[in-house]
A and B are shown apart, each in its own frame.
Chain A
Amino acid sequence: MDDLLREFITETNESLDVVDVELVKFEQEPNNATILDNIFRLVHTIKGTCGFLGLPRLEGIAHAAETLMGKFRDGAPVTQEAVSLILTSIDRIKDILGELEAAGGDEPEGDDSELIGELEAMSAKADEAMNGAGAETSETEEAVSADAEQEAEASEPDQTLERPLRPGEVSLDELEKAFQETEVEGDAVAAAPEPAAETAKAKTAPADEKGSEQKKSANKSGGSVSNQSIRVAVDTLEHLMTMVSELVLTRNQLLEIVRRHEDSEFKVPLQRLSNVTAELQEGVMATRMQPIGNAWQKLPRIVRDLSQELEKPIELEMIGADTELDRQVLELIKDPLTHMVRNSADHGLETPAERRAAGKAEKGTITLAAYHEGGHIIIEVRDDGKGLDVEKIKSKVLERGLATEAEFDKMTDAQIHKFIFAAGFSTAAEVTSVSGRGVGMDVVRNNIELIGGTVDLRSTQGKGTSFIIKIPLTLAIVSTLIVEAGGDRFAIPQLSVVELVRVQTNSEHRIERIKDTPVLRLRNKLLPLVHMSQLLGVQSAEQADEAFDADNGFIVVMQVGSQTFGVVVDGVFHTEEIVVKPMSTMLRNLTMFSGNTILGDGSVIMIIDPNGVASAMASHASSAVAEQSEEEAEELQSKATSAQTAISLLLFRAGAPEPKAVPLSLVTRLEEFEVSKIERSNGRDLVQYRGALMPLVYVNEGDQHKTEGTQPMLVFSDSGRSMGLVVDEIVDIVEDRMNIEVGSERPGILGSAVIKERATEIIDLGFYLPQAFEDWFMRKEMDIEALTKKVLFVDDSPFFRNMLTPVLKAAGYDVTTCNGPADAFELLENGSTYHAIVSDIEMPDINGFEFCETLRRDPRFRQIPILALSAMVTPASIERGRQAGFDDYVAKFDRPGLIAALKDVFSGELGVAA
C-alpha cells in the first residue's frame, strides 16, 4: 500500500467519524447551515480523493450521498429517513475502507447500486418536496432558481466542463467557494468555546478538531494558516515511551549509587539529568494523552440509532470531554463505555409512555461525565431512568443460584445491586438486539479491572442509575508502596492502599482473633486481616500466625471495590514510581501479580494485583466479616467471646414468686383460656384446644389453676399433640445469655441463671412433656421402630443436652449424649455405632469443626452423617462447616430445623439404599 493511500485511509476514517457526529447534530438542528456545510465539505473531499486514487465504488457512494446532501443545502426538508440513509452510506464507506486497508489497497468487489438507487430516489423525493414547497412560496423558489442561475453563470465563463453537471454535483468554482467559507467557519468555531458552557465543550471538542482539519484542507488549497500539528505513528510514540521508561529506571539506579557515595562529583550533573529526565518523561506522557472525548465520539451516533430502534427519545449529554488520559487506557475503556451507554439506553431508560406515567420528561437523558480526582480519572455514566429493580435482581440471583434468600436478608440494596456485575447475569426480561445477552456487566467490570480500575454503581428506584468508573491516568507509570513479607519485597499499587497501620500489642491497634481469623479493630470497624506471606504461599498459616504475634508488623489497609481488608506485612520501605513491565507469559496465570518491574537498586520486584488479593480474601473464610455492618461485626465479636450467645427467653411466674424461664423458641404459643373452659376428666385438667383435648400440666405438683378470670399458659406442640403448661403470669421476653450457674437437683428445673439481673429458674421441658402424654417420647419409637436411628449428640453445655435430647427423642431417635468430642471419640472407638452425629460447634478443647474433620479423616466414620449445631450462624461459618465435612448446619434454637435436617439426612440415605 503506498503512503498516499495510507494517508487517505487514516484521514478519511477521521473525517467519517466527524461526519457521524455532525449528522446526528444536523438532524436535531436541520436549519444550521454551518453543520451542513461541514458535512458536505467532508463528504465532498472523500469523493474527490476517491476519484483521484481510482476507487470507483467509494466515489459512487460518496457522490450519491453528497447529491442528497446538496438537496438539503438547497432547502429540501431534512427527514429522519434521509439522514438514516446517509448514515447507512457512511457505514458502507467505512466498511469498504476497512476492507481496503485489509486488502492492502485494492478496492473490494461489491455492488452498491441498490444503496445508490435509494440515495437517488431520496434525492428525487427531496426535489419534489422542495418544488412542492416552492410552489406555495414562490419567493423561495425564485431564490433557489436564482441561486441556480447564478451558479450556472458563475461556472460557465470560468471553465468548460467536460460534461454537464450531474444533479447535485458541484462545480469547481463552488468547491473553491466552499473552501473559503470553511476557512472562516473554522475560525468561528475555534472562537466559540470560550462563552460556551461546560456541556457545550463536549460538542466543540470534535469541532475544534475539525477546525484544524479545515485549516489543513485550506492549506492544501493554498491557504496561509501554518500547520501546527504533524501526524506521528503510534508505534513511534510507544517506542519513545519505552525508551523514556528505561531512562527513568536508569536514572533511578544512578541516584541510588550516588546516594551511597556522599560527596560525589557526579551529584550535580546527575541532579540535572534527573530533572531533565523528569521533564522528558512528562513531555512524552503528554503525547500519549488524549481527550476522553475521542472515546466518546461514536456515542452520539450509537445513541441516535438506539433511540430510533427502541423508540425512546434519548438525549446524550457529555461533560468534560476534554479531560485527558492515556491513549492506551482510552482504547481499553472505549468498549466498556459503549456497552454501558447501550445498557443505559436499553435497560435504564423507560419508554416514553412509562416516563409520562412517572411524571418525567418524555425524553430520557444519558449523561457522560469525566473529571480528574487525585491521579485518577472518574467517568460517570448516568441515566435518569427507572433505576435498578432490587426484586428483579433478587429473583434472578436466586434463579442463578448466586446467593440465597437468607443471604439477601443481610444485604443492603447497594450490595444487591452489585450482583449485576456477576458473571452470566442480565436483568432484561427479554433478550433484545441491543443488549441482554448476559455477558454484559461482568465483561465491563473485568475490562475495567484489567486496567487497574474499579467500577461502582448507585441506583435509586425511579430516579435513575449511575455507574462510576475510576481508572488510573496512565498504565505506564504506577506509584507503589514497597513492602517486605517473608523475606521478599513486593510493590503494592498506591491506588488501592487506603492507609498504613502500625501494629503493637500495647498500642490501641492490635490484632485480635475471632477463632483463628485475625481481625483488626479500626475505628469501630472490624477489618479482616491476612498475612501477605500466607497469601502468597511463602509461609504456612502457622508461621504467619507467629508473624502476627511477633509484634512488629504493619497493616496495609487496602480497598478494592467495596471490599476493605488489611494485608499484614513485615516491613514498609518507601513509595516508588515504577514502570510496569508485563510479566512473562509463563507467569501470567498468577492472579496475585499484575506485573513486575526493575527498582532503583536494579533488582526485580513483583507488583501485587489488588484485585487478585481481593478475590483471594473473598475465598478466605473470613471474608463475610468484611461485608457485614458495624453492629453485626460487633455482635459477632461478642458472640465469639462468650461461649454462649444471647437467646430469647420467656420469663414467667408459676407457683412461686421467683421468676422462671424457658427458651422462647421451644414455646409454640402463648394462650389464655377462660377458667370456665378448663374441664376435669379422668383425674386431670384438660382444655379443648383446636378440636382436640389438651392436657394441662402444672409446674409444681399440687398447683391449682386460677378460679376465675383467664388462665395464661404456655402451649408446647409437637406432631399434632399439645400440652399446656399452666403459669401464673407471663412476665417478659428478654434477650439474654443463659449461663446456668447453679445446677438443680429438683426435677423439672435445669438450674438457675442470672437473667435480667435476677436469679431465674430455667425449667426442664423434658420433665413436663411426659406428664402430659406419658408416651410423648415413646410413641414415635413404636411407630417407626424399624427405622429407629441411633443419634449421638455432642454438646458441652448441659443445658442444651437437656433441652435438645427430649426434642430428638420426641422425633423418634435413640439419643446418646456426651459432653465433648473426647467422650464421643471414646464411644466410637469402643465400637458403638450411630446413624448420625449431631455436634455443637463452640466447645472447649476440640471444637466442632476439628471434631468433624477428625471424623472425616477416619475411613470408618467417613460415611456417618454429621450435623453441626451452632449458635453462630453466618454464611462464613456455614461455609466453614461445609469445608469441615458437616452435612448440614443448624441454628441451635431451630428445633424444627434440626429435626428436618436429620430427616433429610436419613431420607437421603434411605433413598440411596433403595
Chain B
Amino acid sequence: MTMLENNIQTSGDMIQYVTVVIGGQLFGLPISQVHDVFVPESVTRVPLSAPEVAGVLNLRGRIVTAIDMRRRLHLPPLEEGQMMAVGIEYKQESYGLVIDTVGEVLTLPAASSEANPSNLDKRWAEISGGVHRLDGKLMVILDVDRLLGAMFTEPMVAA
C-alpha cells in the first residue's frame, strides 16, 4: 500500500480524518497533520513561482506558503464564496492548503481504506493515499508528503 500505512499504525486501527471539500470532492487529511484551519486573507502573490503556489500569507506571525489545491488538482478556480485553508507542517515549514470548505472529523478504521482505483486521473493519483468508502460518497485520502514532496522536485515554471 502506501507510506501512509505507517501513520495509521500509530493510532491503533482507527484514524481520525479532517474532511475537506475541493471542487465537490471529499478529501480527508489525517488529523495529526492538520495544525489549524483558517481563512486565507491578504495573500501576497509570489511572481515566478509554480502556478499551484497561491502566494504567501501571515498566519499569527508565521509566514505560510499557500497552495491552491484546486489548481493542484487541475480544477477550475472557485467562482464565488469564501475559501478556507488547512494549515499543515512539512519539514519544519508551514504550508496552507487552500480548499473550498472544511467538513467534520471522521474516525475511520485503517483497514477500510482501499488503494487508488487504477483508472484514477494520474494527477490525482499522485497525491492520493487511498480511498475510503463512506455512506453515499467516497473520501480520497490526501497524502501530504507526496503532495508537497512532488512540488519540490517538479521543475518550477520560471520565466
Which residues of A are interface residues toward B (Cβ below 8 A)?
A: 246, 249-250, 486, 488-489, 536-538, 581, 584-587, 589-590, 592-593, 596-598, 602-606
The segment from B57-65, B80-88, B104-112 found at the interface with A is B57-65
Indicate if the CB atoms of A589 and B156 lie closer than 8 Å: yes
- From A599, which residue of chain B is reached at the shortest CB distance? B58
| A469→B47 CA distance, assembly (Å) | 31
| A327→B92 CA distance, assembly (Å) | 24
- From B157, which residue of chain A is reached at the shortest CB distance? A537
Contact of B63 among A538, A593, A598 (CB under 8 A): A598
Cβ-based interface call for B44 (8 A)? yes
Cβ-based interface call for B46 (8 A)? yes
Cβ-based interface call for B133 (8 A)? no
| A270→B61 CA distance, assembly (Å) | 19
| A250→B62 CA distance, assembly (Å) | 12
Q: List 5 A-B contacts (CB under 8 A).
A: A537-B159, A584-B95, A586-B95, A589-B156, A606-B47
Determine the chain B residues whose CB is within 8 A of the CB of A589 once the complex forms: 156, 158
Determine the chain B residues whose CB is within 8 A of the CB of A250 once the complex forms: 61
Q: A590-B49, A598-B58, A598-B61 are in contact. Are A584 and B44 (CB under 8 A)?
A: no
Give the total of B residues in contact with A, Cβ under 8 Å.
26
Cβ-based interface call for B53 (8 A)? yes
- From B151, which residue of chain A is reached at the shortest CB distance? A586
Indicate if the CB atoms of B48 and A602 lie closer than 8 Å: no
Indicate if the CB atoms of A596 and B63 lie closer than 8 Å: yes
| A592→B47 CA distance, assembly (Å) | 9
Indicate if the CB atoms of B56 and A606 lie closer than 8 Å: yes
Q: A585-B93, A585-B152 are in contact. Are A590 and B46 (CB under 8 A)?
A: yes
- From A592, which residue of chain B is reached at the shortest CB distance? B48
Indicate if the CB atoms of A587 and B65 lie closer than 8 Å: yes
Cβ-based interface call for B35 (8 A)? no
Indicate if the CB atoms of B56 and A596 lie closer than 8 Å: yes
Q: A488-B45, A590-B49 are in contact. Are A584 and B56 (CB under 8 A)?
A: yes
Determine the chain A residues whose CB is within 8 A of the CB of B156 once the complex forms: 589-590
* Number of interchain pairs (Cβ within 8 Å): 75
Cβ-based interface call for B118 (8 A)? no
Least CB distance from A50 to B in Å reads 39
Cβ-based interface call for B2 (8 A)? no
- From B57, which residue of chain A is reached at the shortest CB distance? A604
| A584→B56 CA distance, assembly (Å) | 9
Q: A602-B42, A603-B44 are in contact. Are A586 and B58 (CB under 8 A)?
A: no
| A165→B65 CA distance, assembly (Å) | 69
Q: A584-B93, A585-B152, A586-B151 are in contact. Are A536 and B47 (CB under 8 A)?
A: yes
- From B94, which residue of chain A is reached at the shortest CB distance? A584
Indicate if the CB atoms of A602 and B58 lie closer than 8 Å: yes
Least CB distance from B26 to A in Å reads 26
| A486→B45 CA distance, assembly (Å) | 11
Determine the chain B residues whose CB is within 8 A of the CB of A538 once the complex forms: 45, 47
Least CB distance from B157 to A in Å reads 9
Cβ-based interface call for B91 (8 A)? yes
Cβ-based interface call for B39 (8 A)? no
| A581→B94 CA distance, assembly (Å) | 13
User: Which parts of B124-159 form the interface with A (CB within 8 Å)?
Assistant: 148, 151-152, 156, 158-159
Q: Which of A581, A587, A590, A604 is the most central at the interface, judged by chain B CB atoms within 10 Å of its CB?
A: A604
| A320→B47 CA distance, assembly (Å) | 43
Determine the chain A residues whose CB is within 8 A of the CB of B93 once the complex forms: 584-586
| A538→B49 CA distance, assembly (Å) | 11
Determine the chain A residues whose CB is within 8 A of the CB of B47 once the complex forms: 486, 488, 536-538, 592, 606
Q: A537-B159, A604-B56 are in contact. Are A587 and B46 (CB under 8 A)?
A: yes
Indicate if the CB atoms of A586 and B53 lie closer than 8 Å: yes
| A883→B91 CA distance, assembly (Å) | 42
| A486→B46 CA distance, assembly (Å) | 12
| A85→B20 CA distance, assembly (Å) | 70
Query: Nearest 10 pairs between A and B by C-beta?
Result: A536-B47, A537-B159, A584-B65, A604-B44, A604-B56, A603-B42, A598-B58, A604-B58, A584-B93, A538-B47
Least CB distance from A875 to B in Å reads 23
Indicate if the CB atoms of B91 and A590 lie closer than 8 Å: no
User: Which parts of B66-105 form the interface with A (CB within 8 Å)?
Assistant: 91, 93-95
Determine the chain B residues whose CB is within 8 A of the CB of A590 once the complex forms: 46, 48-49, 156, 158
Determine the chain B residues whose CB is within 8 A of the CB of A598 once the complex forms: 58, 61, 63
| A589→B46 CA distance, assembly (Å) | 12
Q: A584-B95, A585-B93 are in contact. Are A249 and B44 (CB under 8 A)?
A: no
Indicate if the CB atoms of B148 and A604 lie closer than 8 Å: no
Q: A246-B61, A581-B63, A598-B63 are in contact. Are A587 and B53 (CB under 8 A)?
A: yes
Determine the chain A residues whose CB is within 8 A of the CB of B57 once the complex forms: 603-604
Determine the chain A residues whose CB is within 8 A of the CB of B65 once the complex forms: 584, 586-587
Given contacts A538-B47, A581-B63, 18 further A-B contacts (CB under 8 A): A249-B61, A250-B61, A488-B45, A536-B47, A537-B159, A584-B63, A585-B93, A586-B65, A586-B93, A586-B148, A587-B46, A587-B49, A589-B156, A590-B49, A592-B48, A602-B42, A603-B58, A604-B56
Indicate if the CB atoms of A606 and B158 lie closer than 8 Å: no
Least CB distance from A247 to B in Å reads 10
| A573→B63 CA distance, assembly (Å) | 22
Determine the chain B residues whose CB is within 8 A of the CB of A587 once the complex forms: 46, 49, 53, 56, 65
Q: Which of A488, A587, A593, A602 is the most central at the interface, judged by chain B CB atoms within 10 Å of its CB?
A: A587
Determine the chain A residues whose CB is within 8 A of the CB of B95 once the complex forms: 584, 586
| A604→B63 CA distance, assembly (Å) | 7
Determine the chain A residues whose CB is within 8 A of the CB of B49 once the complex forms: 586-587, 590
- From A490, which residue of chain B is reached at the shortest CB distance? B47
Determine the chain B residues whose CB is within 8 A of the CB of A249 once the complex forms: 61
Determine the chain B residues whose CB is within 8 A of the CB of A584 once the complex forms: 56, 63, 65, 93-95
Least CB distance from A257 to B in Å reads 15
- From A581, which residue of chain B is reached at the shortest CB distance? B63
- From B156, which residue of chain A is reached at the shortest CB distance? A589
| A415→B148 CA distance, assembly (Å) | 44
Determine the chain A residues whose CB is within 8 A of the CB of B44 once the complex forms: 488-489, 596, 603-606
Least CB distance from B50 to A in Å reads 8
